[in-house]
Structure formats: C-alpha cells, structure tokens
C-alpha cells in the first residue's frame, strides 16, 4: 500500500512536539511492514525552501511554505498514493488538501490528535474555533473516509462536532526498538522519593495544580519528596518557578530542562514514580514511555486513561490539587509495591501502547476504507 502522511513539522522524534513523534513511529513501522510510506511536512522554521531528511526507515520531504509550487508537487505525488493521512486541527493546509482529495475521489483519513477535546477547545479562542469549524473544518472531517481517534473518549468528543459514521479508535504507541532495551529497577535506600513529569510545561498539563499538591503534603512527608519537571524552559516555566517560591517548595522542585534520547530515558529511570497531571490530554506520549519503561505511574482520569487501567497498571486520580496530593500519598504508601506496579505497567505497554500493535490495527483501517 502507498501511504502519504501530511504534517506540520519534520517528523522529528527528538522534540517535545508529540504529533511529530507520533508520525515518526507510524511511518517507521508502516514502512517496516512492507508499505511505501511518504511523509510531506511544512515547516516555516526552515532556512531553505525544500529539504529531504532521512529518518529511520523512511524519508521526510519538507517545504518551508505551502505555496502553489508545493501544492503542485503534492498533487503529482498523490496520483500514485492509495490513502492520504492528514494530521491535526485548525489547519487551513489540511482543509485545502482535503478539498482537492475529495475532488479526485482519493480516500483520506484524519487524526485530530486531541484537537477536539472539549476542555482544551474552551481554554482559548473558543468562539473563533467554533466559527472556523463551522466554515472550514466541519466538511473536512465529515467528508473523510475515516476519522482516527486515540481513545473512546476522544471519539465521543469528535462525534459531538463531526457526524462522520466511520470514527475508529486506535491508540498511539512508543518504539519497541528503544524501550524494550530498558527496564525500571526499584531504587532502595535513598533519602528522597523522586516523582517526575516529562513534557511541555503548558496550561493544559496542569503543572500548577501538581505544585499545589506538593505544597499540601505534611511537612514530614514533604521533606522526603523531590519533583523533577523535564521540559523546555519557556515563559510558562518562569511563572511556575515563581509559584514554587510562593508555595515555599523551591527545595522540592527541580526544573531540569529538555532531555532527549538516552539522557531522557536515564532521567526517567532515576525516578521512583512518574506523574502525569494533565487537565486535558489523550494518552500522552510520556505516559506511554513511562509504562514502556515499567515506571510506577500516577495519571489523571482526564488524560483519557480510564479504559486502560486493567491489571492495576497505574494509580489514577482526578486533576485537582487535592486529588493529585492524594495520589502522591497513595504512591508513597505503596513503595513496597513498586516491583509489581512495574510489571503491570510493562504488560500494558506490550499489549496496548507499542507501535507494532498500533500500526497493524491502523493498517487494517486503511485497507477497509480503500476497498
């Protein structure tokens, strides 16, 4: 099967941008399954009009602008493509390409990547997004051969906006090539209990409530706790650093900056518990990475993880400061259970959250809409 992924970005796996990490995993394992995979990306940060980048098992053709020349190139490419996979929301490039694909009766599917999560839409420019959806995006989604949702909750959110009868659920994954080489080992006899979070330190990630949860701990417990925040240092981080001072927890919180590759994995493996406080997320990549490493994990219900909590694979909490505090206290009380939590986490990853499994399911959906 000839597959085209159209994205914003360069499918770089070593960036905090989750969608680009996803495209890298999809394209790599679709290619390994014997399919001809093309990735075309638009990246305004490029210094040249065009660049071809070799990724693992596939190439990315990157254009600085989505102009008439780029569009003409994509039209020629599409002639030999069986299915086009569009990614994202609030993107006029997708709308333009989708309209063209419809005119030539070329099937396309589209992944929203959490873009239709109701709580996330309401965080900013809500009325403008509703207007944009009504004028431009609704038809793009409703005329798609299929809409790829990452969880059942997301499929419900999407259907609220787009009455497409072919919304199917396939989760994302992480790369077995990377994560099968590592496994968490319980840290014993050290003074601090280390909790950690990996990802963007933005509003929807709910880091402010996580900090408040730390501040609510009894002083004797607080003395034992270290929270490691792993992610890009941005303006929002400056505000979080100010909040740690106001809450008087500077000694408990470490802002470690960005970590990639082996350094990122070693930083995660040094934790006792991974904690994902997100107010709005769809099975965050960092959660899947933590589970793949066998890290004992705390995750919020609003991360769309409730359907996957079989076999006691993680501790689930609400995204409030009070409930995150409760989750931390629960984790501390289960220090002796870390080995079993680790085994359970690894089992869930192997069953649900690795690219070999996800790609096979997604390819079946491709074939179904191409019949």
Do 324 and 181 fall within a single domain?
yes
Do 158 and 270 fall within a single domain?
no
In the chain, which ranges are E strands?
Answer: 2-8, 36-42, 50-55, 58-63, 83-87, 108-111, 146-149, 167-169, 193-198, 225-230, 253-257, 273-276, 297-300, 315-317
Do 7 and 108 fall within a single domain?
yes
Do 163 and 189 fall within a single domain?
no
Packing angle between helix 321-333 and helix 207-215, nearest 10 degrees? 60
Q: In degrees, to the nearest 5, what angle opens at C-alpha 86 toward C-alphas 104 and 116?
A: 125
Query: What's the pLDDT score for residue 289?
Result: 95
For residue 257, the number of C-alpha atoms closer than 13 Å in the C-beta half-sphere is 1
Do 155 and 13 fall within a single domain?
yes
Do 223 and 363 fall within a single domain?
no
Burial 74-84 (b: 16+ CB within 10 A, else e): beebbeebbbb
* d(C-alpha 218, C-alpha 74), whole Å: 59
Do 165 and 204 fall within a single domain?
no
Confidence category of residue 16, pLDDT binned at 50, 70, 90: low
Do 134 and 281 fall within a single domain?
no
* d(C-alpha 271, C-alpha 341), whole Å: 14
Residue 23 has pLDDT above 90, yes or no: yes
Residue 61 has pLDDT above 90, yes or no: yes
* d(C-alpha 47, C-alpha 324), whole Å: 44
Residue 354 carries which DSSP code?
B
Confidence category of residue 145, pLDDT binned at 50, 70, 90: very high
Do 184 and 138 fall within a single domain?
no
* d(C-alpha 316, C-alpha 266), whole Å: 24
**What mean pLDDT do residues 84-102 have?**
95
pTM tops 0.85:
yes
Please spell the DSSP secondary structure of 290-352, one letter per residue.
HHHHT--EEEEGGGT-GGG--SS-SEEE-SSHHHHHHHHHHHHHTGGGHHHHHHHHHHHHHHH
- Phi and psi of 159, rounded to 5°? -65, -25
Confidence category of residue 107, pLDDT binned at 50, 70, 90: very high
Helix (H, G, I), strand (E, B) or coil at 33: coil
CA distances from 347 to 173, 269, 311, 321 (A): 14, 17, 9, 29
Do 34 and 156 fall within a single domain?
yes
Do 128 and 190 fall within a single domain?
no
Instruction: Output the domain CATH number for residue 332.
Output: 3.40.50.2000
Confidence category of residue 190, pLDDT binned at 50, 70, 90: confident
In the chain, % of residues over pLDDT 90? 78
Query: What's the pLDDT score for residue 233?
Result: 83
Highest mean predicted confidence (pLDDT) among 77-86, 155-164, 300-309: 77-86
Domain count, the chain: 2
**What mean pLDDT do residues 302-313 have?**
79
| Residue 255 structural domain | 177-352
Do 8 and 84 fall within a single domain?
yes
């Amino acid at each position: 099967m000839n597959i085209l992924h159209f994205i914003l970005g360069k499918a770089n796996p070593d960036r905090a941008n989750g969608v680009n990490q996803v495209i890298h995993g999809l394209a790599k394992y679709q290619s390994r399954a014997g399919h001809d995979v093309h990735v075309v990306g638009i990246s305004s940060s490029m210094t040249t009009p065009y660049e071809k980048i070799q990724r693992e098992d596939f190439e990315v053709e990157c254009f600085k602008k989505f102009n008439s020349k780029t569009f003409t190139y994509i039209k020629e490419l599409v002639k030999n493509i069986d299915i086009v996979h569009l990614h994202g929301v609030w993107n006029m490039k997708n709308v333009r390409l989708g309209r063209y694909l419809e005119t030539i009766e070329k099937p396309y599917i589209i992944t929203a990547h959490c873009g239709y999560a109701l709580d996330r839409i309401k965080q900013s420019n809500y009325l403008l997004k509703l207007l944009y959806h009504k004028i431009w995006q609704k038809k793009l989604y409703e005329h798609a051969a299929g809409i790829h949702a990452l969880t059942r909750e997301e499929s419900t959110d999407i259907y609220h906006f787009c009455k497409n009868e072919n919304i199917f659920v396939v989760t994302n994954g992480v790369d077995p090539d990377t994560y099968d080489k590592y496994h968490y080992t319980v840290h014993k006899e050290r003074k601090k209990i280390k909790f950690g979070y990996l990802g963007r330190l933005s509003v929807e990630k709910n880091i402010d409530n996580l900090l408040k949860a730390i501040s609510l701990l009894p002083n004797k417990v607080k003395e034992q706790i270290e929270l490691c925040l792993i992610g890009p240092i941005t303006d929002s981080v400056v505000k979080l650093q100010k909040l740690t001072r106001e809450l008087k927890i500077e000694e408990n919180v470490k802002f470690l900056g960005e970590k990639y590759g082996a350094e990122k994995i070693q930083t995660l493996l040094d934790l006792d518990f991974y904690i994902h406080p997100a107010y709005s997320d769809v099975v965050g990549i960092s959660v899947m990475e933590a589970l793949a490493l066998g890290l004992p994990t705390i995750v919020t219900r609003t991360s769309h993880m409730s359907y996957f909590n079989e076999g006691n694979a993680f501790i689930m909490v609400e995204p409030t400061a009070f409930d995150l505090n409760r989750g931390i206290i629960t984790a501390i009380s289960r220090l002796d259970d870390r080995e079993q939590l680790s085994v359970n986490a690894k089992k869930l990853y192997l069953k649900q959250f690795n690219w070999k499994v996800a790609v096979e399911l997604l390819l079946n959906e491709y074939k179904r809409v191409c019949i």
